[in-house]
C-alpha cells in the first residue's frame, strides 16, 4: 500500500503499457544512490531538503496559478502542460521522499497512520459530503482510547455521560 503509480509519458503521449508501480522504498533507495554518486549527501540536511521541497511546491503552484478552477483530468490542457505538471509533481515527491529518509521517517507507514487518524477525525457517517474542518466534528464527538490501544468515537453527550459516571465510580 505504500506504492505510487507512475505512468510513462512516452514521447508526447501517455503510454499505458509503460505504467509501473514504484514503491516508496525504491524511490528512497534511488534518491540515496543519486545523491551519493554526486557527493550531494553533504548538502542534504533536513533544512535544505525542506527548503528545496517548498521551492518545488511553489513551482507546482505556478502551473495552476492563473488557470482558475481546473476540472479533474485537466481537459483543455495540452500534452506539454501535462508533461510539465508530471515533472513538477515528481520533483515534489522526490524531495519529500528524500526529506523523510534524512529524517528517519518511514513515509509509507507515516502516511498509513495519518490516514487512520484522519478517519477518526472525519468519521464518514458524520462528514460525508462536507468540507468542514475536523474541529467541527471534534466539537460534536470525542475520541477515547481503549485498553487495547484502539480508539472509539462517541458523541459528546455519550462521552459526558460516560465521564460523569466514571468520575462518580472513581471518586474523582
pLDDT at 104 over 50: yes
Task: Report d(CA 127, CA 133) in Å as an integer.
Answer: 10
List the chain domain ranges.
3-113, 123-170
For residue 128, report the phi and psi dihedrals to the nearest 5 degrees: -55, 125
pLDDT at 155 over 80: no
For residue 145, report the phi and psi dihedrals to the nearest 5 degrees: -85, 145
Name the band, by pLDDT with cuts 50, 70 and 90, for residue 141: low
DSSP 8-state assignment for residue 149: S
In the predicted model, what is the mean pLDDT of the chain? 80
Query: What is the model's pLDDT at position 136?
Result: 80
- State percent of the chain over pLDDT 70: 67
Q: 4 - beta bridge partners? A: 22
Name the band, by pLDDT with cuts 50, 70 and 90, for residue 2: very low
Task: Report d(CA 101, CA 29) in Å as an integer.
Answer: 9
Residues 114, 48, 99: CA angle, nearest 5 degrees? 30
pTM for the whole structure:
0.68
Task: Report d(CA 72, CA 118) in Å as an integer.
Answer: 23
Task: Report d(CA 129, CA 102) in Å as an integer.
Answer: 38
Task: Report CA 49 to chain centroid distance, whole Å.
Answer: 17
pLDDT tens for 46-92 read 999 999 999 999 999 999 999 999 999 999 999 999 999 999 999 99
pLDDT at 5 over 90: no
Task: Report d(CA 149, CA 113) in Å as an integer.
Answer: 13
Task: Report d(CA 44, CA 51) in Å as an integer.
Answer: 11
Instruction: Give the fold, CATH level 3, of 3-113.
Output: Helix Hairpins (1.10.287)
Query: What is the model's pLDDT at position 108?
Result: 97
Query: What is the model's pLDDT at position 132?
Result: 86
Q: Is 131 left (phi over 0), alpha (psi -120 to 50) or beta?
A: alpha
Query: What is the model's pLDDT at position 172?
Result: 35
Query: What is the model's pLDDT at position 94?
Result: 98
Q: 21 - beta bridge partners? A: 5
- State percent of the chain over pLDDT 90: 60
pLDDT at 18 over 50: no
Query: What is the model's pLDDT at position 89?
Result: 98
Task: Report d(CA 132, CA 125) in Å as an integer.
Answer: 14
Pairing of strands 3-8, 141-145: unpaired
Amino acid at each position: 500500500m505504500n506504492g505510487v503509480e507512475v505512468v510513462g509519458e512516452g514521447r508526447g503521449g501517455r503510454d499505458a503499457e509503460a505504467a509501473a508501480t514504484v514503491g516508496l522504498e525504491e524511490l528512497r533507495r534511488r534518491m540515496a544512490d543519486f545523491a551519493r554518486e554526486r557527493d550531494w549527501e553533504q548538502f542534504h540536511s533536513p533544512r535544505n531538503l525542506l527548503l528545496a521541497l517548498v521551492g518545488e511546491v511553489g513551482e507546482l503552484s505556478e502551473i495552476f496559478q492563473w488557470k482558475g478552477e481546473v476540472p479533474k483530468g485537466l481537459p483543455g490542457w495540452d500534452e506539454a502542460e501535462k508533461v510539465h505538471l508530471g515533472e513538477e509533481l515528481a520533483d515534489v515527491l522526490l524531495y519529500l521522499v528524500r526529506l523523510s529518509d534524512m529524517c528517519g521517517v518511514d513515509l509509507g507507514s507515516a502516511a498509513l497512520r495519518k490516514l487512520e487518524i484522519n478517519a477518526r477525525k472525519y468519521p464518514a457517517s458524520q462528514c460525508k459530503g462536507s468540507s468542514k474542518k475536523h474541529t467541527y466534528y471534534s466539537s460534536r464527538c470525542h475520541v477515547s482510547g481503549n485498553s487495547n490501544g484502539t480508539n472509539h468515537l462517541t458523541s459528546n453527550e455519550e462521552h459526558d455521560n460516560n465521564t460523569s459516571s466514571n468520575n462518580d465510580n472513581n471518586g474523582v
